[in-house]
Structure 1
Amino acid sequence: MVSKSALNILIVDMETAMIMLFQQIFSTQRNEMLLVTSGEEALLLVKEKEFDFIFIDIQLPDRDGFEICIEIRKNTKAFIIILTGVTGEEYKVKGLEAGADDYLVKPFGIHELKARIDALYRRLYHYDEGSPENIIRHGDLELDSSQNLVRVGNEKVNLTNKEYELLKLLMKNRGQVFSRQQLLEKLWGKDFAEVHTRTVDTHIKTLRVKLKNESQSIQAVWGIGYKFERKEN
């Protein structure tokens, strides 16, 4: 499994079977796994501690899991995976727009869970594999893939994993137009290929807000999608 030497994992779930499954996967390599059974407990922990992965069941006893996901995303860059027994495209869309990186429908097995975790790491940390260039600059905007950092001028920009991936893809392919469907498949994977493309628009909107004076570099191409094309002064 692709990972760092040790991981900090937060599980927000009440099902014994799920807890046992996670224990099988994360019990090695000195991983630290914390378990809570309510959304409020999860919110408190995220404010106090940094996590690598957070798994959230949407059916929690105190609050809606999607609402908890939105609140958690404000305080962490961790990979967030929604867990649910409910199927349907609208729930996937809702999960992605809440800030989740992936969505797993119960019941699922240990091999599927491992594959999803590996895919998240590969997309973020191995996207530049084989390329000697770690830093991409356009005007005041700088992306350093060796440290997963983005700056506008001297100011560090705090991006979520998906916002970072989206910006990196567009900057590395300056001038190339990507359809919303292409962006979904490249950044969220084929499992989300049928998800409504408004998810991409939502992430573009928040990314532009964070980039401030460099926001106009991400340009909409009417009827198609988006491209990165910085307007030189």
Structure 2
Amino acid sequence: MPVYDTVREAVADHGPNAAVIAVPPRALRDAAFECIAYGIPLVVIVTERVPRMDAAQVVELAAREGVRVIGPNSMGLISPGKTKVGSVGGPAADTARSFVPGSTGIMSRSGGMTTEIASLLAQQGLGVSTAISIGGDPITGSSFASLLPLFEADPETEAVVTFSEPGGAMEAELVETIQKQGTGLRIVSFIAGNFMAEMPGVRFGHAGALVQRDEDSAAAKASLLRDAGVHVADALADIPALLRG
């Protein structure tokens, strides 16, 4: 495998269409800026707990330059049988068992739950078109709402599963998109963390999982999604049945 000192050299020799960044949080901004400057269209950021100002600057520059950012705090994305970017699914043998080709897209705040949902679908005879670990940090480059049109444009995707956690406005943005534009996809959502409603202001797991307002809670998000026609699973095991209708 070729090793380079700069992105410029790697781009000159190979013209990559994706980059995976795994550097210490304080080094993330410069690494991402370099990838964006040299026109790599997809940047997956594995690094977690990136300083918020740095993350915001990366996301803003990427949007201005037309670069898609997945993460920070992402394990990557996968289209089974086609390509994998990042560490999602783990070693190749484990990935092949969990991710089988199919017609269900996955968008998940949690990298581990991306694989867990794919494995559950495989056990029930369902498969995955594309699965994306969008990242668990408070500021991420892509959201459910921004990725939904890509799944809608994919002829291999008939339904989408989202995995959410308390905190943040990503579900509200998804609902707004559905209400404004509609969707031809069946959407099933699972929201973890009902217990967090009893502990306002306490952060659990990912940096983004922080309940500060009533509308940040799992129950409030579930209600909002249901009102928009999204099928909300009460338990993870309910997802396959909801996909089948």
Report the TM-score range of the alignment, normalised by the length of the smaller protein. 0.3 to 0.5
TM score, norm. by length of structure 1: 0.35
TM score, norm. by length of structure 2: 0.34
